[in-house]
Amino acid sequence: MKSKLLHIRNEATPAVIDLLESVTLGTNGAQYRHLDTRNRINEADKPVFLSIERNNTTLANITFCQRGDAWYIRYFAFDNRFQSTGSKKSNGNNMIKREIESFFQDAIANEKVKSFYAYIDPKNVKSLWMAENFGFKTISQVATQTFSRVIPKSSNRLEKLEFTQEVASFIRAAFFEQDYYFEAQMKPPFYGLRDENGELIAIVKITIANWEIKRLPGKTGGLLTKVIPLIPRLNKLIRPKKHTFVVPDCVWAKNNNPHLVEELFNGILHLEKRNLIIWWVDVNDDLYKTVGSKVKWGLLHKMIGVSHAHVVERTGNSSIENKIKPVFTAGFDFI
């Protein structure tokens, strides 16, 4: 595909990095900005940067991670002059739409890509615009589940792990059959619980993330970001200027035991000297379905509950499949 506006690269330009670092995510709900973007770009698995540029200015960027014949949409960002992208009346919108649609069509027609997939906030106008205008269909939902402790409890059964064959075998057995399973981001640290016989009874991979929170969900979300730093206990869980938290994925517990999940999460917060975990997990994940109502998730969960993101997909097949299997969720894809 030839285009004067469209540029495809395997490395991010300074202009793309500046654009991605400036983006505030969310529209009508929570609003936040990633503070680790520059590092995350360098950690992306087989990235492709699709940029629309005019007059030496980067107007928009979509960053993909190539995972075999499935491409994950990692970033979807626009210059501030195109923040009206959710509006179908924008001329800039129409120009960008034509360029992006041509890319999607060519990639699938040439059988380079069998499917594109992404996670979108249903309250985010720009994300919905992408899904509606480029033929993406919702195939599942991901829960945003918080686990918070003001004073986390330690566990003498907790152990820091590498991605050994032992760890890999448990993770593959638990997640290999899930849609979009991949291992490119399975980098340490991992944590595990061992029983008295030395056998692993729970496993998780973690990443530390840093956000700037502009507002929290709900009608008083903007006010809360100003008030929370003044409230004891709560100000340990949420720090709007630099909100640091633990992101787990590949969470496995023997027999889907909720007590093991609670011990595992508590112990990690204690060792990492953190107070908050945010777990993104498909609502159909067996472990999450089993433990969801049985774990004491903490104060922040009582305040904001669980929010959901849509898992959307575009394939070359026009028919809509009924998805039964959950979608594999990696923490990297959300931070």
Confidence of residue 110 (pLDDT cuts 50, 70, 90): confident
- Residue 119's SS3 state is strand
Tokens describing residue 289: 């379905």
Print burial letters for 197-215: b (CB count within 10 Å at least 16), e (below 16). eeebbbbbbbbebebbbbb
Task: Give the torsion sign (CA, 267, 289, 25, 316).
Answer: positive
Biggest alpha carbon–alpha carbon distance for the chain:
66
Given a cut of 60, is residue 105 above it in pLDDT?
yes
Given a cut of 90, is residue 89 above it in pLDDT?
no
- pLDDT for 223 equals 84
How much is the mean pLDDT over the chain?
90
What value does the mean pLDDT take over residues 195-208?
97
What value does the mean pLDDT take over residues 236-259?
96
- pLDDT for 11 equals 95
> pLDDT per residue over 270-284, tens digit each?
999 999 999 999 999
Higher pLDDT: 196 or 97? It is 196
- pLDDT for 198 equals 96
CA distance 135 to 133: 6
Given a cut of 50, is residue 87 above it in pLDDT?
no
Which domains does the chain show, CATH number per domain? 6-135 (3.40.630.30), 144-334 (3.40.630)
What value does the mean pLDDT take over residues 252-278?
98
Do strands 137-148 and 115-120 pair parallel, antiparallel, or not at all (unpaired)? unpaired
Given a cut of 50, is residue 146 above it in pLDDT?
yes
Q: The pTM is what?
A: 0.92
CA distance 130 to 100: 10
> pLDDT per residue over 1-51, tens digit each?
567 788 999 999 999 999 999 888 876 667 899 999 999 999 999 999 999
- pLDDT for 99 equals 84
- pLDDT for 83 equals 53
What value does the mean pLDDT take over residues 244-254?
98
Confidence of residue 224 (pLDDT cuts 50, 70, 90): confident
Long-range contacts of the stretch 193-196 (C-beta < 8 A, 24+): 193/155, 193/157, 193/158, 193/159, 193/260, 193/263, 193/264, 193/267, 194/157, 194/159, 195/157
Given a cut of 50, is residue 64 above it in pLDDT?
yes
Other CB atoms within 10 Å distance of the CB of residue 90? 16
What value does the mean pLDDT take over residues 95-103?
85
Higher pLDDT: 266 or 60? It is 266
Q: What does the radius of gyration of the chain's CA atoms come to, in whole angstroms?
A: 20
> pLDDT per residue over 281-310, tens digit each?
999 999 999 999 999 999 999 988 999 999
What value does the mean pLDDT take over residues 145-149?
97
